[in-house]
Copies of this chain bind each other. A is one copy, B any other.
Amino acid sequence: MAVTIKDVAKLANVAPSTVSRVIANSPRISQKTKDKVREAMEKLGYHPNFNARSLANKSTNTIGIVMPSSANKAFQNPFFPEVMRGISTKAHQEGFGLYLSTGQTEDEIFEEVVHMVQGGRVDGIILLYSRINDRIMPYLQQQNFPFVLIGRPYGDYQGITYVNNDNYKAAKTVTEYLLLLGHHHIAFIGGELDFVVTVDHKKGYEQALQNANLPLNDEYVVFQQELQEGGQDAIIQLMSLTQPPTALVVSDDIMTFGVMRMLSEMGIRVPDDISIVSFNNVLISELSSPPMSTVDINIFGLGFEATNLVIEKIKQPSLEPKNVIIPHKLVKRQTCKKVVFQNS
């Protein structure tokens, strides 16, 4: 049996409640008693029981991390480890622990979240993604449970704390950049369409084209899973068009890897035959050949700031909802090139 607060109390000749106060470093305990108790703790190798503490306290000092329904697949995208780095760093600074969701389907995850919340397993939750018509966010809000979203809520949700990039503007900017390089046939390869980020990217892309008085071509817009395979499928589809694009806006670096790989197999050169701008700037992005131009969204910062916000919310539940926009910046590498002549 582990050593408890009572054992310490006995050895130090004080009441259990006094020991508890020493643990909390209560100012109303004499230094002398503190020393005596601490010595006893040391001697017995005492460590507070986490569950008992949480039960009495109604707080766990733990943050729940909710991955997209395909937790399994998600780990294949370097976005998640990187955002975890940010979360982990801040959580550690603040003395919070991390509890991970493991569910594979949307329903399983929802159940997990309910358990975390109702079971008092975590004090707050970080949603690592924002999906259209997701049940979790409304549930959390209705429960008035501290949480923060990485991404932005879709639709008319009010009062939700979130951390996001300005994905619309970023997409608009990169499209304009390609426009300035002389491209008129710019395609868009988005991630899954029910992710809000995909919607925002698409809007930015379209707005840029419209501002340039270019027609929106449905054939130039495709959506795929944010995986290498997704990129491959997408580019096959695009290059099969009678008028294939000369430039690409791709929602995710990992897809871009797939795109570039397939392009290389087809003998199409980047950037000579086709230009590409991508999103995320994950760590390995600079390792493509040629190294890809991509929008750095500061993934680490997203995680770090999200954690900061949940912890704030946990400590002061009445706090006004906050929205933090993490700045992005285009990292120009070698996948974009000025159009020399346009064959249409």
Q: Which residues of A contact B (CB under 8 A)?
A: 2, 45, 47-52, 54-55, 60, 62, 71-72, 75-76, 78, 80-82, 84-85, 88-89, 91-92, 96-100, 102-104, 108, 114-115, 118-121, 228, 257, 261, 264, 283-284, 287-289
Taking a contact as CB atoms under 8 Å apart, the answer to whether B99 and A99 are in contact is yes
C-alpha gap A288/B287 in the complex (Å): 8
Q: Tell me the nearest residue of chain B to A79, going by C-beta.
A: B81
Q: Tell me the nearest residue of chain B to A67, going by C-beta.
A: B88
Q: A319 to nearest B CB, angstroms? A: 22
Taking a contact as CB atoms under 8 Å apart, the answer to whether B47 and A51 are in contact is no
Residues in B with CB closer than 8 Å to A98 are: 99-100, 102
State the number of copies, please: 2
Q: A140 to nearest B CB, angstroms? A: 15
C-alpha gap A287/B80 in the complex (Å): 19
Taking a contact as CB atoms under 8 Å apart, the answer to whether B100 and A88 are in contact is yes
Taking a contact as CB atoms under 8 Å apart, the answer to whether A85 and B92 are in contact is no
Residues in B with CB closer than 8 Å to A81 are: 75-76, 78, 80-81
Taking a contact as CB atoms under 8 Å apart, the answer to whether A75 and B71 are in contact is no
Taking a contact as CB atoms under 8 Å apart, the answer to whether A55 and B47 are in contact is no
With A81-B80, A81-B81 as given contacts, are A71 and B88 in contact (CB-CB < 8 Å)? yes
C-alpha gap A88/B109 in the complex (Å): 13
C-alpha gap A97/B100 in the complex (Å): 7
Residues in B with CB closer than 8 Å to A71 are: 88
Q: Tell me the nearest residue of chain B to A71, going by C-beta.
A: B88
Q: A287 to nearest B CB, angstroms? A: 5
Taking a contact as CB atoms under 8 Å apart, the answer to whether B100 and A100 are in contact is yes
Taking a contact as CB atoms under 8 Å apart, the answer to whether A60 and B51 are in contact is yes
C-alpha gap A40/B52 in the complex (Å): 27
Taking a contact as CB atoms under 8 Å apart, the answer to whether B88 and A47 are in contact is no
Taking a contact as CB atoms under 8 Å apart, the answer to whether A114 and B284 are in contact is no
